[in-house]
Amino acid sequence: MKLAADLHIHSCLSPCADDNMTPGNIVAMAALKGLDVIAIADHNSAGNLRSAAAAAADAGMLLLPAIEANTREETHVLCYFETLSQAEQLGEWLYERLPPVPNSSTLFGNQFYIDIDDGIVASEPRLLISAADCSLEELVAFTRRLGGVAVPAHVDKPANSILTNLGFIPPDLQLKTVEIRGEQPPAGCEGYAFLRSSDAHTLGDILERVFFIDAQQRGLSAIIREISQ
Which domain CATH number covers 214? 3.20.20.140
Distance CA 144, CA 147 (A): 5
Q: Which residues pair with 114 in a beta bridge?
A: 120
Look at residue 182 in the predicted model and tell me its pLDDT.
Answer: 86
Letter string b/e over residues 197-208, b meaning 16 or more CB atoms within 10 A of that residue's CB:
bbbbbebebbbe
For 72, 140, 186, the CA distances from 163, given in Å and listed in that order, are 15, 16, 9
Share of the chain above pLDDT 70, in %: 100
d(CA 53, CA 88): 13
pLDDT, tens digit, 9 for 90 and up, residues 181-191:
988 889 999 99
Classified as helix, coil or strand, 118 is coil
Contacts 24+ apart (CB under 8 A), 32-36: 33/206, 33/207, 33/208, 33/209, 34/4, 34/208, 34/209, 35/4, 35/5, 35/6, 35/61, 35/206, 35/207, 35/209, 36/3, 36/4, 36/5, 36/61, 36/62, 36/218
**Cβ pair 11, 52 in contact under 8 A:** yes
Residue 183: its pLDDT value, please?
A: 83
Q: What span, in angstroms and rounded, lies between the C-alpha atoms of 176 and 107?
A: 36
- Give the residue numbers spanning the domain of 69: 2-228
**Across 22-51, average pLDDT:** 98
How far lies 145's CA from each of 9, 52, 79, 141, 149, in Å? 24, 24, 12, 6, 9
How do residues 108-158 score in pLDDT, each as one tens digit? 999 999 999 999 999 999 999 999 999 999 999 999 999 999 999 999 999
User: What's the domain count of the chain?
Assistant: 1
Whether the per-residue pLDDT at 86 is higher than 90: the answer is yes
pLDDT digits (tens, 9 = 90+) for 40-58: 999 999 999 999 999 999 9
Dist. CA 42–CA 211, nearest whole Å: 21
Cβ–Cβ < 8 Å for 77, 136? yes
Label residue 5 exposed, middle or buried (CB < 10 Å: 0-12, 13-18, 19+). buried
Q: Is 192 helix (H, G, I), strand (E, B) or coil?
A: coil
Query: Closest by alpha carbon to 27, among 114, 88, 108, 148?
Result: 114
Mean pLDDT, to the nearest integer, of 60-64? 98
The pLDDT of residue 145 is: 98
